[in-house]
Chains A and B, each alone.
Chain A
Amino acid sequence: MKALVLLLAVALSMPPVTYAATYYLTVSGLGGEPDYEQRFGMWAADIGKILKTSDAADGKVETLVNGTREQVRAALERIAKEAQPQDAVVVMLIGHGSFDGYEYKINLPGPDLSAAELATLLDRIPATRQLVVNMTSSSGGSIEVLRRPNRVVIAATKTGTEKNATVFARYWVEALRDPAADTDKNDVVSALEAFRYADKKTAGFYDSQKRLATEHAVLEDTGKGDAVRAPSPENGEGQLAATFPLLRIGATASATKDPAKLELLAKKEQLEQQIDKLKYEKAAMAPEDYKKQLGALLLELARTQEALDK
């Protein structure tokens, strides 16, 4: 909880990031048997549907159910041609993966796609900010090859040796669908929020089934560190993911162009910063003092927001 508060504070204190566009590519691979085939395809299709109906996607959503390596290459090459440095790209992989100790591959119809090849394709895309969500079995084996500064890498398994089929993708889809995933209620589900949501639900799944968990999702977004189970300021992971908007779920209050409200906006921003600062100081404060000051700031923020909404 403390870690979350700190992380949010860091995220909120960063300059707002705007993207011209976000490109989404979702790929589901071979299931091997009808059950998995159907499940993988359904999850990929669901992601596609959710993204297409969201405001931010702007038609830049591609879904490859049972996609081949050639199709993936072609899709990423198209994005590489279109995308600008200020854009973002999100690649989501669902299916079975394999890792032989050296090389990770996602199982696709025809030749498989290796992590190294995927990394090369992604490196050619000019979009500075990138998110790769590898939800396959053994996906932990792809992290080392995929990580890079300004790229968030999420894997459903902590290592390449977690080889059992995963359920992380099911809850990743749910994170995109469930408003509860937006824990800071800013109408944007960030990559970090979706990761935490899916990870918690995945753990809950194994717990409720009384099964030993065979997957442990991890995140790496510094480009140089080890992927971690619980990103936090202490381990330095999660900062980029916290500011990476994965999905806009409501009418995000984009900065109003009404000059009359600029003053209110400035006040709002100032109050938010004061609240963040106060949260940092919480541990060192008397609880009653903290509550009093927090209450006053939150009330003022609510009043400011009310005035802005008029």
Chain B
Amino acid sequence: MRLLRAPLPAILFMTGTLCAQTLEQAESLWKQHRHTEANDVFRELVKAHPRNAGYRVRWGRLYLERFQPADAAQLFEEALKIDPNNAGGFLGLAQVAAEGFESKAVEFAHKALAADPKLLEAQELLARLALEDNDPKKAAEEAHRAIAMSPNAMQAKAILATIDWLNDKPETEWDPHAGPAYETAGAIFVLNRRYEEGIQFFRKAIELQPDLWSAHSQLGINLMRLGREDEARAQLEMCYENGYKDKPTVNTLRLMDSYKNFVTYKTDRTILRLQQKEAELLHPYFEAEMQRALSTYEKKYGIKLDRPVQVEVYPDHEDFAVRTMGMPGLGALGVTFGYVVAMDSPSGRPPGTFHWASTMWHELSHVYVLTMTKHRVPRWFTEGLAVHEETAVSPEWGDRLDPHVIAAIKDKKLLPVAELDRGFVRPSYPTQVIVSYFEAGRICDFINREWGWDKLLAMIHDFATGASTPDVIEKELGMPPEQFDKHFLASLEAETKKTVDGFDDWRKQLMKVAEEAKAGKNDDVIRDAVPIRDIYPDYVEAGNVYQFLADAYVAKNSKPAAIAELERFAKAGGRSPDTLKQLATLLEEAGNRKEAAEVLDRLNYIQPVDEELHRRLGDLWLGLGNAAGAIREYRAVLAQAPTDPAASHFSLAKAYRAYNRPGEAKDELLLSLEAAPGFRPAQKMLLELSR
């Protein structure tokens, strides 16, 4: 992929013969798509004129176009070292930052304009950045400034036209009738999750400029996102064959190649795509949860989807990441494209770090909200509702109040609701996306609590008309957004006051408790940990108070107290498989088998890729008379190619027998005895079933 900077032998020969390269030569080669040769000429130019910032800027632009933004940024920085007021250098850095949705893009573009007030590209970029930030008013102002600089500013016109198109005004005076302009419109529509319309713009772009490979690539990627794989592949292969091999194109083709290793399950309203090696294991859990979520949402949102929802589950996080390339925000666990949801598999994450069911409910909520609003919904609202839905299923689900959020509340860094989209699209500090998810979720919780679910539904319908956040807040909640912010913040601060105020002390005390635990001072642990436990009850990560206390109680043989602590851990949303299994063991030892089974069942939503879990839960459920549950668990054991197939088939046979399905019980017995013909318990049951 590093085509440009690495000298190829043929080029080396050529460079030896070139002695008086000019910028015109480089630009001409570049224009002819002879990128390697252009690169070589630039290298010679820079070597011959080490103090020329302009050459470095142009060379950087070549890198930027040829998918090497890091190398490009280095050249722009070098140019700025030579000439600290170089407008092209700042513009280049702004473009690199804009590609990565970094907040510095705006700052660099302003610096470029300050250095050269007539730099049209910088002005046009500011217009685009404002529209990406969901600020059409500012975007229009910036675009008009660009047009004032040059009446033919194509990208500025594209921004003004896109604003009209986003507002469902197909006839616009600003339509620039140019491929790159339609490509810009397509990108903005995709950013607004209006994929179908985005695709139409990419098609228009290609129609006008058939060799606009970046538009072909975007068309292919978005077709893939919506599940139209044949056409997507054709577009992407066309890009590849024509030398357009940027990361999104290549990685998407690779991902599509890997689809042969996936299994697809279909029902009348679901399509579930799972990786072959874990399909048999995950299918029952994912299918059941998908159906449950769809039924719940159908009632809650009051609509029936007109086609099946597709959920794709990727055990390799890199495959999933390909799905989110070029998208702003985290996209860390799941992402929704209309009726297609892509998400991580629980096997793709370290055990205990990922609640797959919570993520699935989150993403499926997007499907409803995007459908109801025809994708005309601000990001903060659809994300907020999705976060709200996670804890609506169970308070144990969803994300916990984490230290980044506590710091943001403390430092008054939460954004006003009218500007909250910015926190998702172009974060101004590294953890702002996480903080924005939390804030959006709590806003929806707040509205639901104070005004009721119907208001949230009404807001969805308002957004569907294209209304803005301030207008919707004003209309449905009867107050301007600024007043809403005050109410919300007062409520949030009251809710989190104990944790926010006590956080520093809590941290110090927790360190002390950790030291005491390490030294085996169990009485000290109990004395010091209990008072801090409730200051920050949401802290359930490694080194949490609950675990320290439980260990101390177990060491002192106070098992009921240990159980109580670990139950608090579970209720607070604790997800460590080891800790939850420890709780199940303690409960089982105390004779509370039903509760033990419930604890283990929680793990099915967190880390179902665990043979021991399913075996234990199967045994518990069989003992408790839940034969259907036991069947599911033993089947999960078998789906993982267990170390002991004979015993696993035998367990399943027992469950089938208890469920009064003797035929299947006998089949499983035969499989058990096929693996171990002398297995006495299985032989005994075979005789019983045969009598």
Contact = CB atoms under 8 A, between A and B. Distances in A.
Residue among B609, B678, B682 with most chain A CB within 10 A: B678
A301 B351 contact: no
A61 interface: no
B670 A298 contact: yes
Interface string B316-352: 0000000000000000000000000000000101110
Residue among A184, A185, A210, A272 with most chain B CB within 10 A: A185
A183 B643 contact: yes
A309 to B, nearest CB: 8
B350 A272 contact: no
Interface in B87-134: none
A207 to B, nearest CB: 8
A186 B680 CA distance: 9
B350 A209 contact: yes
Nearest to A198: B643
B259 interface: no
Nearest to A272: B677
Contacts of B451: none
A180 interface: yes
Interface string B678-691: 11101110110010
B646 A184 contact: yes
A208 B678 CA distance: 33
Given A210-B350, A299-B686, A197 B643 contact: yes
Contacts of B347: 207
B674 A294 contact: yes
B686 A302 contact: yes
Nearest to B687: A302
A299 B674 contact: no
Contacts of B282: none
A277 interface: no
Contact of B678 (A186, A197, A201, A303): A186
A127 interface: no
B350 A183 contact: no
Contacts of A303: 687
Interface in B650-691: 666, 670, 673-680, 682-684, 686-687, 690
Interface residues of A, number: 30
Contacts of B537: none
A159 B105 CA distance: 51
Residue among A183, A279, A294 with most chain B CB within 10 A: A183
Interface in A267-308: 272, 275, 279, 291, 294-295, 298-299, 301-303, 305-306
Nearest to A196: B643
A306 B645 CA distance: 23
B686 A186 contact: no
Contacts of A208: 350-351, 609-610
Interface in B48-106: none
Contacts of B610: 208
B647 to A, nearest CB: 6
A305 B676 contact: no
Interface in A228-275: 272, 275
Nearest to B347: A207
B644 A184 contact: no
B676 A183 contact: yes
Contact of A302 (B350, B644, B683): B683
Contacts of A210: 349-350
Contact of A299 (B349, B679, B687): B687
Residue among B670, B674, B677, B683 with most chain A CB within 10 A: B677
B680 A185 contact: yes
Residue among B351, B610, B646, B674 with most chain A CB within 10 A: B674
A184 B676 contact: yes
A121 to B, nearest CB: 33
A180 B644 contact: yes
A122 interface: no
Nearest to B676: A185
A182 B643 CA distance: 9
A89 interface: no
A181 interface: yes
A306 B675 contact: no
A180 B676 CA distance: 12
A180 B672 CA distance: 13
A299 B690 contact: yes
A294 B609 CA distance: 32
Contacts of B670: 291, 294-295, 298
A78 interface: no
A200 interface: yes
Contacts of A295: 666, 670
Interface string A206-219: 01111000000000
B675 A183 contact: yes
A7 to B, nearest CB: 12
A185 B679 contact: yes
A201 B687 CA distance: 34
Nearest to A180: B644
Contacts of B674: 279, 294, 298
Residue among A179, A209, A299, A302 with most chain B CB within 10 A: A302
Contacts of B647: 179-180, 185
B612 to A, nearest CB: 10
Given A180-B647, A208-B351, A301 B687 contact: no
B686 A298 contact: yes
Given A299-B686, A303-B687, A185 B643 contact: no
A211 to B, nearest CB: 9
Nearest to B667: A291
A306 B351 contact: no
A305 B680 contact: yes
Nearest to A211: B350
Nearest to B677: A275
Interface string B349-360: 111000000000
B686 A183 contact: no
Contacts of B677: 184, 272, 275, 298, 301
Contact of B643 (A181, A272, A279, A291): A181
A215 B144 CA distance: 64
A46 to B, nearest CB: 19
Nearest to A186: B678
B643 A186 contact: no
Contacts of A184: 646, 675-678
Residue among B609, B680, B684 with most chain A CB within 10 A: B680
A303 B674 CA distance: 16
Interface string B398-422: 0000000000000000000000000
Nearest to A291: B670
A249 B677 CA distance: 17
A272 B676 CA distance: 10
Contact of A186 (B349, B609, B676): B676
A163 B636 CA distance: 35
Given A272-B677, A291-B670, A301 B643 contact: no
A243 to B, nearest CB: 15
Residue among B347, B351, B683 with most chain A CB within 10 A: B683
B395 to A, nearest CB: 28
Nearest to A276: B677
A306 B683 contact: yes
B683 A301 contact: yes
Nearest to A199: B643
A305 B643 contact: no
Nearest to A207: B347
A200 B643 contact: yes
A301 B684 CA distance: 11
Interface of B: 347, 349-351, 609-610, 642-647, 666, 670, 673-680, 682-684, 686-687, 690
5 contacts: A180-B644, A294-B674, A298-B674, A302-B673, A305-B683
| Closest CB pairs A-B (n = 6) | A180-B644, A185-B676, A302-B683, A185-B679, A184-B676, A298-B673
Given A180-B644, A306-B683, A306-B687, 11 more contacts: A180-B647, A183-B645, A183-B675, A184-B677, A184-B678, A186-B678, A209-B350, A272-B677, A272-B678, A279-B674, A295-B666
